[in-house]
Amino acid sequence: MIYRGAGWLTLFTPVAMVLLLMGLWPDPSVKPGNTSLMQLLMGLGIGSGINTVLGFVLNRQVHEDGVRHHFFFMPMQWPALAIMLVCAVIALLK
């Protein structure tokens, strides 16, 4: 399995944020149902930022049942932090 505990949120939250941004603040410069690059980067960045904080909080202590929150065998905050940094770099380069 590629995730343990709440590790599945590493992919779910950024995708949910992109869909939420598309629904609440549609970009008038693109066709309906599409998204712009900046809207995509904002959604992925915000969702990954939420996961980074959530990962640090959830993995702060060892739980009594031994569950750790991992994604691809790493604590979930590190892949989320990497996604957030990649989004920030791409946004700065554009």
Q: Per-domain residue ranges for the chain? A: 3-93
Quick one: pLDDT at residue 34?
Answer: 80
> Nearest-CA neighbor of 23 among 33, 13, 14?
33
pLDDT of residue 89: 95
**Per-residue model confidence (pLDDT) at position 85:** 95
pLDDT of residue 44: 94
- pLDDT, residue 63, reads 72
pLDDT the model gives residue 87: 94
Residues of the chain with pLDDT under 50: none
Tokens of 31: 């066709």
pTM for this model (two decimals):
0.83
